[in-house]
A = this chain, B = another copy of it.
Amino acid sequence: MPDLDALRRRLVAFADARDWGPYHTPKNLASALSVEAAELVEVFQWLTPEESAGVMEDAESAHRVADEVADVLAYLLQFCEVLGIDPLRALAEKIERNERRFPVRPGGRLRD
């Protein structure tokens, strides 16, 4: 499988070949990311929690879910690209902050 960086480079080449640069402001890419995230939410909006766990059993909804995951990741990588953000580093640093912020407690389910 290609790694994240190889996919990022393919997305950049893809947008460049189509002259999409002018559309790819950080503001527009953040909006596009949120629209794709909403399309993922839409798959689940009327499902019970139990039904939501079974979406991959139906071929059509499985395809739709994977497709929306791809769209979210694509816009996230393109957003990071135009702002020079390393998403893996950002996540690694966040996990470290969260490990301090939410210490493990015996028996404790604790959410922000």
Find chain B residues with CB under 8 A from A38 CB.
34-35, 37-39
Number of interface residues of A (CB under 8 A): 76
| Dominant SS among interface residues on chain A | helix
Given contacts A67-B90, A90-B66, A90-B70, contact A56 B83 (CB under 8 A): yes
Within the oligomer, what is the number of copies of this chain?
Answer: 4
Q: Which residues of B contact A48 (CB under 8 A)?
A: 49
Within 8 A of B (CB), among A33-53: 33-35, 37-49, 52-53
Give me the interface of A with B, judged by CB distance under 8 Å.
Answer: 1-4, 7, 10-11, 14, 17-20, 22-23, 25-28, 30-35, 37-49, 52-53, 55-56, 65-67, 69-74, 76, 79-80, 82-95, 98-99, 102, 104, 107-111
